[in-house]
Structure 1
Amino acid sequence: MHPHLFTTPGTAGFAEELDAERTRQIARWGDQRHPDGTGGPGTRQQADQARAHCQHLADTGGIDWRSILLEEVHEALAESDPAKLRTELVQVAAVCAAWVSDIDRR
């Protein structure tokens, strides 16, 4: 456990659970290597639609975690540049952490 590495409330627990899940995945499937499969035809349009939908919900007071996560996922799927894809995937993980934290506080 490394409580000093995480300053955002709830992040340390999330990271520990994430690490445990990755350990289970590696035990079951090994260290996997796959192509990204991102940046294909139509993915930028889907990302733009998800972003617009999320913004509309935010503007009208109807935002939800599902829409926020889907926006981030679609943005990641639209990226073909590995550095930009990595940035988007970190954003996906951060939204997941925020959503889990919100669930835990209910």
Structure 2
Amino acid sequence: MTAADGDFGMPGSLARVLAEIGGERAAQDVRWGIQDIADGTGPDGAAAADRAKDETAAAFAGGTLTWRHILIEEVLEAFAEDDPEALRTELVQVAAVAAKWIQALDRRRAGLRAS
């Protein structure tokens, strides 16, 4: 197994997380139906995204980086987009970071450490 398999050192973990996410998405559709609502994003969010990038970089440099830093930076970058393709790219990054954070929680619960 390679580090690039997405399993974060736990065989099958990415598939399990994605299955849980798929289940939650299906439950959302049952509860709310199809929702065609506005994105609510755009350049007005650029300053907040820039601050989040700076905070993440400072936390990394200072050795205090957390998953919260990473996820909020990705979310605020998405909020700053008004181009649908760029917004989609940012939202994929949000989902990927959230999935990896879930995997990190699962690794901790299993008592595993990065090698």
TM-score by length of 2: 0.83
Q: How far off is 1:31 after superposition? A: 1.1
> Partners of 2:72 and 2:102 in 1: how far apart?
15
**2:113 corresponding residue in structure 1:** none
Matches within 5 A, 1:14-53: 14-41=17-44, 43-53=45-55
**1:60 corresponding residue in structure 2:** 62
**2:96 corresponding residue in structure 1:** 94
> Partners of 1:38 and 1:14 in 2: how far apart?
27
> Partners of 2:75 and 2:94 in 1: how far apart?
6
**RMSD between aligned alpha carbons?**
0.9
> Partners of 1:72 and 1:34 in 2: how far apart?
21
**2:6 is aligned with what amino acid?**
T
> Partners of 1:55 and 1:28 in 2: how far apart?
39
Structure 2: segments with no counterpart, 5+ residues = 8-12, 109-115
Structure 1: segments with no counterpart, 5+ residues = 1-6
**2:71 is aligned with what amino acid?**
L
- The one of 12, 27, 36 aligned to 2:15: 12
Q: How far off is 1:74 after superposition? A: 0.3
Q: How far off is 1:40 after superposition? A: 4.8
Number of aligned residues: 99
**1:4 corresponding residue in structure 2:** none
**1:52 is aligned with what amino acid?**
D
> Partners of 1:11 and 1:86 in 2: how far apart?
21
